[in-house]
Amino acid sequence: MHIRNVRVYREDKSFAEGDIYIKDGLFAEPQAVCGDQEESVDGEGGYAIPGLIDIHFHGCMGYDFCDGTQEAIKGIAEYEASVGVTGINPATMTLPVEELEAILATGAAYGKTQEEHPDPERADFLGVNMEGPFISEAKKGAQDARNILLCDVDIFHRFQRAAEGTVKYIGVAPEREGALDFVEAVKDEVHVSLAHTNADYDSAKAAYDRGACHAVHLYNAMPAFTHRAPGVVGAVADSPHVMAELICDGVHIHPAVVRATFKMLGEDRIIFISDSMRATGMPDGRYTLGGLDVDVKGNHATLVSDGALAGSVTNLMDCVRTAVKKMDIPLGTAVACATMNPAKSLGVYESRGSITVGKKADLVLLDQDLNLKAVIKDGKMLTGKGR
């Protein structure tokens, strides 16, 4: 395949007019393609960016990863690919341990089947982000308090065995009993993230000093960042090895705070996530998240019980658009936060996350207004059956 007349996204976060060549599902040098009877695609002067990677979301199109079925994961993966998200690392909720084990086992089985029988119409399954159960009841958000547990290394290993090693992130509330010892015990096996926590600055910083390296949806489900009590946000700022998730759906974080966070952390430490739930891509109405009822109206999803935000109903590509058009984040920076940065965090940057010769040819073509024109997955143009 030869893609011409397009502004190509580069690893330095800039765009350059040029061509893209694809052969055998990988980005290729021109000489490897020229002379073949290759498919030619006119980019019409728009943008070519890498396929997006969402490391934290729950579902879409009526499905949730915690449904625990192959059908649900397949439906999720088809929708995500159709909107330009070509790599997925879905998140679990705070559920009973045995139920989580079954969900993780289903995810691992799906991943193996996908490797054996690739389908370019579906986003690649890259692992799992466990948002619970080792969190704080004080900041549980849409998590079910009945299933919250203290950190337990043995239970984590049960999760990882069920997942066949595919758990990439495990969330903890560092202020709770045993949490810091847990961080030190598992830090070499998984990314430990601070999630749904009521930790003050000292507790959060201690966790990061002991080996935690990630922050789940910064600002949400944690204490506010203030001048005398900087909390988790301040600890993230003071821990250069930590990467932080941001939900740029226009609901969870004010645009001024998003801009301030880039100034505070720098563009290389921020990962855009959607945190989308099953109502994404669906009409307004009542849905569920982690067994709890959620009302969805427009781009707001709130718990029926107490009105707390319950994830988002915005896919990651729309979050990128919102960051650029409504939050004044430069396009090159926003793209990095949804492609290169998550790929680096997951440890898959050698094979995906940029338009680089030898990497997987996962590509999104946008027009000059950032509307989706086409998705190319594994070097093949999607037919759009997931839309």
Domain CATH code at residue 2: 2.30.40.10
Closest CA to 123 of 364, 367, 373: 364
Q: For residue 38, count other CB atoms closer than 10 A to its CB.
A: 14
- CA dist 337 and 357 (Å) reads 21
Note the pTM of the prediction, 2 decimals. 0.96
Q: Are 132 and 196 in contact (CB under 8 A)?
A: yes
Angle (CA) 165-167-171 rounded to 5° is 145
Q: Are 4 and 42 in contact (CB under 8 A)?
A: yes
146 with 184, same domain: the answer is yes
Tokens representing 188? Answer: 């070499």
> Does some domain include residue 158?
no
Tokens representing 364? Answer: 């999104």
> Does some domain include residue 106?
no
Q: How many domains does the chain have?
A: 2
| Bond before 133 cis per omega within 30 degrees | yes
Q: Are 224 and 139 in contact (CB under 8 A)?
A: no
Tokens representing 295? Answer: 């009302």
Catalytic-residue membership of 36: no
Q: Which residues pair with 339 in a beta bridge?
A: none
- CA dist 288 and 295 (Å) reads 8
Catalytic pick among 124, 275, 318, 378: 275
What secondary structure letter does DSSP report for 145? G
**In a structure prediction context, what are the per-residue pLDDT tens digits for the chain, which is 387 residues long?**
999 999 999 999 999 999 999 999 999 999 877 666 668 899 999 999 999 999 999 999 999 999 999 999 999 999 999 999 999 999 999 999 999 999 999 999 999 999 999 999 999 999 999 999 999 999 998 899 999 999 999 999 999 999 999 999 999 999 999 999 999 999 999 999 999 999 999 999 999 999 999 999 999 999 999 999 999 999 999 999 999 999 999 999 999 999 999 999 999 999 999 999 999 999 999 999 888 899 999 989 999 998 888 889 999 999 999 999 999 999 999 999 999 999 999 999 999 999 999 999 999 999 999 999 999 999 999 975 433
> Does some domain include residue 140?
yes
Buried b (16+ CB within 10 A) or exposed e, 366-385: beeebebbbbbbbbeebeee
Please state the separation of Cα 32 from the chain's center in Å: 33
- CA dist 155 and 125 (Å) reads 23
30 with 42, same domain: the answer is yes
Range of the domain at 129: 52-101+117-150+165-347
311 with 284, same domain: the answer is yes
41 with 79, same domain: the answer is no
> Does some domain include residue 159?
no
